[in-house]
Structure 1
Amino acid sequence: MRKLKGWPNPDLIAVACGAALVGAAFWVGLSVEPVADSGVYWPPLSAKPIPHFGAGTPLAIAVAVAVIGYGPVLAARLRWRALVVVAWLAAIAWTFALALVDGWRRGIAGQLTSDNEYLSIIGRFDDIGAALRGYSDHILIDAPANWPAHVAGHPPGAVLTFVGLDRLGLGGGAWAGVWCIVVGCSAVAAILVAVRALAGEDLARRSAPFLVLSPAAIWIGVSADGYFAAVAAWGIALLVLAARRECRWPWLVALGAGLLFGAAVYLSYGLTLIAVVAVGVLLITRTARPLPLVLIGACVVPLAFTLAGFYWWEAYFLLAERYDQGAGGVRSYAYWVWGNLAAAVIVIGPAVVAGLRRSAVAAPAAIRRFPMRPSAVAAPAAIRPSPKTGQDRFVLLLLAALVAIAVADLSGMSKAETERIWLPFTVWLIPAAALLPDRRRLWLGAQALLALVVNHALLTSW
């Protein structure tokens, strides 16, 4: 879209609309939504307005300045493998710094030890087989010894992760918090790998600083959903590599993708929607070749849990019944169906909102140029996408993530707390900032400023 003379910049208009949505969500949430009944005290975010500073404040500012000043240059000049590792490490530094604004105990070590979290019931998994067979018996609120909120609200793969860490001698909230940050930030590396294979190295490199300096890091550190997001992201990355055949053993990579997808569904019920992004990848690459092996890999974890005595569908319907019993408070669909989107705007930041505007403009032409029909033949690795073809694939990948979010939102199963629950999908929107052609340091500065303001002005639940 060409900017008309005398008109404001369309990117800034998009950012202003996003800001207006956030402002309206705060105003309506605080004045109309029954806050006391919803359990969300600063809607649309699960947070309290408590301005604070901490040990992470100077560190976060230092990381932000470094990434803004040197990130674009390093992203353009580093060797590819070095860039992926450096981006992951920089994201870890940014996430740790933001978490430490709340202090070591409140920000990291104590996040997963509260009464509602996974570590509070580790002792009930001394006999893992018995715990799995009886898992569904403790989901409902009126069940004897009912599970705390997050354990009841997820399949047992989530809590078994922390049981496994405990068995390895890495028990306690500190190790659990470090695990979620380090593994969660690896989603940055996974997305870079996927974008490069699907859309070309230039767009991947342009995405890197924005993936590092994202407001989403506030909720990756520390929530288990950051860890879930990384598992799903690596599943998508492996699927892209297998579909594009940009790996030595595509069949093995396809199996690995399926294994991760199966594991993701047993970490969070909502991650069934990662199938939307996965199907999008297959449509974009116009190949069904990896699909049989992906499906075989995806059966491994579900089969193991079913044989152990945990039945996913039974537990899911019991969880829906628990919600009907009032778990999580009373949350109005009429508010949260758009309030969730306001929370997503905060998570992705203004640069990504502007990038999504550009992707929306490019999407119709991209769809026309890429008829959605599968082909048995994938392009060989030696054939790199042209800039136009690569950008089309990139835009369609963003569109797939947006569709997954839309389904989650309209379903009514996502009402509040989506700043962390939707991380597996919102992280795929962040590369949209790569479509911004200039003033990248200013956009990076806007991303960092939003994250710092939110993290210091609000005491978030995660």
Structure 2
Amino acid sequence: MRIAIAGLLVAAAVIAGLIVNAQNPGLLFASAAPIFGDWQPHAGPGTPAALLIAFLVIAKGPELARHRFALPIAYVTATLWTFSLAMIDGWDRFVTRLTTVDEYLHEVPGVTDIPAMVTGFTQRILDFQPDSWTTHVSGHPPGALLTFVALDRVGLGGGAAASIFCVLVGSLAVVAIPKAIGDNAVLPFLVLFPGAIWVGASADGMFMGVAAVGIYLLTRWPLLGGIVLGWCLFLSYGLVLLAPLAIAALWRQGDRFGVIGRRIGWALAGALAVVAAFAVSGFWWLDGYELVKIRYYQGIGDVRPYWYWVWANLAALALVIGPAGVRGLRKDKWIIAAGIAILAADLSGLSKAETERIWLPFAVWLLAGTAKLDRRWLTAQAVTALAVNHLVLTNW
């Protein structure tokens, strides 16, 4: 029943998107709605590689999940799967996705004084100023831009290095989530995660990997996990919605209140240390967030209709997690926590479209319920990813 409902939701979003785009071009700002991209059937050098990797994971994935080196094998395979999906669109597109006028790398050459950039960051968030930040930089805290500035400073500047970095960091989610939930059986489903289409390459794919590592660390070392999740707050404002997943990571059945309280205390101490470091450097998170809400409605966020995206976002989500993700939805603390985060983001009105990449840090956790599914569902995951990637020329 869940698969049928998801299928109908996707079909309704596609049909409604086609109708709206035909009658009012430019309203949705997504010609392949609910996906941000263009309807353009195509293949590329990554097609045979993606087919081969999908075949091998379907054939051997469940057995390899029990291998003593399951985690490193899964990480390498997920990286190759993500890269092969990106190569369906070609190398040139892969290496330029983060270099456009709207992206982070556009601003990197202008950052010659990092402390001054952080101190004056909020002054450049609003649009229609001579020195307004480009779209993606203005829409995020300074940590995202700082990441790419740091890459540039160590000699890894340019679109190729940035895109590869996003894939390598994003793929860490494939090993962090099984460690957090304590079940390697989900590994093959995480490897063939359809959302990998948008990990290669988008900064949100990188955010997904960092967030997953932070959540895992909370289950073992709350202070360290708190520091990583504190850093996440300065990668994207939306990652404040990791809070339900953080609580799920800190809560263990049977624990006394005092034990949980100590874990929460250590986690908060780590996160607040990062917040304090940015505050001392001149950036206050709440000020940035209030200005970003204004900036959001200075652009296409003001045009895109809430009435369509509030439900079409969920259709995009169904494509991101794939049929196995939908089938595996159940009463599980990880799935419930991710669902709460996604629902809050959806209803906020600040997630109108492009959620196939923006929600990656939450969506990937919905695959926690796939552990008991058989290899037929791996086939469904691969077919979904390959179909979307070959039919739609995505913007990321």
Same-fold call, TM cutoff 0.5: yes
Note the C-alpha offset of 1:226: 0.8
- Code of the residue aligned with 1:453 in structure 2: it is A
- For structure 2, list consecutive stretches of 5 or more residues without a partner in the other structure: none
Deviation track 1:432-456 (CA, whole Å, cap 9, x = no partner) reads 22133xxx22110110011001101
Q: 1:334 aligns with which of 281, 303, 307?
A: 307
Cα distance in 2 for residues equivalent to 1:143 and 1:320? 17
Q: Which residue of 2 aligns with 1:102?
A: 89
Matched, 1:260 2:239: no
Q: Summarize the alignment of residues 69-88 of structure 1 with structure 2, pairs less than 5 Å apart.
A: 69-76=59-66, 78-79=67-68, 82-88=69-75
Note the C-alpha offset of 1:35: 4.6
Deviation track 1:48-100 (CA, whole Å, cap 9, x = no partner) reads 00111111011000100110011111113x11xx1111111110010000001
Q: Which residue of 2 aligns with 1:61?
A: 51
Deviation track 1:409-448 (CA, whole Å, cap 9, x = no partner) reads 1121111100000001001001222133xxx221101100
Q: Which residue of 2 aligns with 1:192?
A: 178
- Code of the residue aligned with 2:393 in structure 1: it is L
Are the aligned partners of 2:163 and 2:200 in contact in 1 as well (CA < 8 Å)? yes
Q: Summarize the alignment of residues 252-401 of structure 1 with structure 2, pairs less than 5 Å apart.
A: 253-285=221-253, 286=255, 287-328=260-301, 330-356=303-329, 359=330, 363=331, 395-401=332-338
Q: Which secondary structure does the structure 1 equivalent of 2:118 belong to?
A: helix
Cα distance in 1 for residues equivalent to 2:334 and 2:41? 37
Are the aligned partners of 2:216 and 2:249 in contact in 1 as well (CA < 8 Å)? no
Cα distance in 1 for residues equivalent to 2:190 and 2:244? 22
Cα distance in 1 for residues equivalent to 2:137 and 2:352? 18
Note the C-alpha offset of 1:283: 3.9
- Code of the residue aligned with 2:236 in structure 1: it is S
Are the aligned partners of 1:56 and 1:97 in contact in 2 as well (CA < 8 Å)? yes
Q: Which secondary structure does the structure 2 equivalent of 1:459 belong to?
A: strand
Note the C-alpha offset of 1:129: 1.3
- Code of the residue aligned with 2:348 in structure 1: it is S
Q: Which residue of 2 aligns with 1:26?
A: 14
Deviation track 1:20-71 (CA, whole Å, cap 9, x = no partner) reads 1000011112213645033222111101001111110110001001100111
Q: Which secondary structure does the structure 1 equivalent of 2:107 belong to?
A: helix
Q: Which secondary structure does the structure 2 equivalent of 1:37 belong to?
A: coil
- Code of the residue aligned with 2:395 in structure 1: it is S
Matched, 1:225 2:199: no
Are the aligned partners of 1:29 and 1:35 in contact in 2 as well (CA < 8 Å)? no
Note the C-alpha offset of 1:284: 4.5
Note the C-alpha offset of 1:178: 0.5
Q: Which residue of 1 aligns with 2:372?
A: 435
Q: Which secondary structure does the structure 1 equivalent of 2:171 belong to?
A: helix
Q: Summarize the alignment of residues 92-131 of structure 1 with structure 2, pairs less than 5 Å apart.
A: 92-106=79-93, 108-131=94-117
Q: Which secondary structure does the structure 1 equivalent of 2:42 belong to?
A: coil
Cα distance in 1 for residues equivalent to 2:100 and 2:122? 22
Deviation track 1:384-408 (CA, whole Å, cap 9, x = no partner) reads xxxxxxxxxxx12211111111111
Note the C-alpha offset of 1:325: 2.2
Cα distance in 2 for residues equivalent to 1:297 and 1:69? 42
Deviation track 1:173-205 (CA, whole Å, cap 9, x = no partner) reads 000000000010001111011011xxxxxxx22
Q: Which secondary structure does the structure 2 equivalent of 1:288 belong to?
A: helix
Q: Which secondary structure does the structure 2 equivalent of 1:163 belong to?
A: helix
- Code of the residue aligned with 2:137 in structure 1: it is V
Cα distance in 1 for residues equivalent to 2:349 and 2:389? 28
Note the C-alpha offset of 1:329: 5.1
- Code of the residue aligned with 2:363 in structure 1: it is T
Q: Which secondary structure does the structure 2 equivalent of 1:154 belong to?
A: coil
Q: Which secondary structure does the structure 2 equivalent of 1:427 belong to?
A: helix
Cα distance in 2 for residues equivalent to 1:148 and 1:41? 23
Q: Which residue of 1 aligns with 2:123?
A: 137
Cα distance in 1 for residues equivalent to 2:387 and 2:299? 33
Q: Which residue of 2 aligns with 1:372?
A: none
Are the aligned partners of 1:282 and 1:288 in contact in 2 as well (CA < 8 Å)? no
Matched, 1:51 2:19: no
Cα distance in 2 for residues equivalent to 1:14 and 1:255? 39
- Identity over the aligned pairs, expressed in percent? 48
Cα distance in 1 for residues equivalent to 2:104 and 2:156? 14
Note the C-alpha offset of 1:315: 1.4
Q: Which residue of 1 aligns with 2:149?
A: 163
- Code of the residue aligned with 2:81 in structure 1: it is W
- Code of the residue aligned with 2:366 in structure 1: it is L
Give the length in aligned residue pairs.
Answer: 389
**Alignment RMSD:** 1.3
Cα distance in 2 for residues equivalent to 1:102 and 1:423? 20
- Code of the residue aligned with 1:53 in structure 2: it is A
Deviation track 1:340-378 (CA, whole Å, cap 9, x = no partner) reads 10000000001111111xx1xxx3xxxxxxxxxxxxxxx
Note the C-alpha offset of 1:289: 2.6
Q: Which residue of 1 aligns with 2:390?
A: 456
Cα distance in 2 for residues equivalent to 1:192 and 1:173? 31
Q: 1:212 aligns with which of 191, 196, 206?
A: 191
Question: More displaced, 291-300 or 163-172?
Answer: 291-300
Deviation track 1:102-144 (CA, whole Å, cap 9, x = no partner) reads 11110x2111001100001111211111111211111111222
Are the aligned partners of 1:124 and 1:131 in contact in 2 as well (CA < 8 Å)? no
Cα distance in 2 for residues equivalent to 1:121 and 1:344? 30
Whichever of the two has the greater Rg, that structure is 1
Are the aligned partners of 1:37 and 1:329 in contact in 2 as well (CA < 8 Å)? no
- Code of the residue aligned with 1:218 in structure 2: it is I
Q: Which residue of 2 aligns with 1:386?
A: none
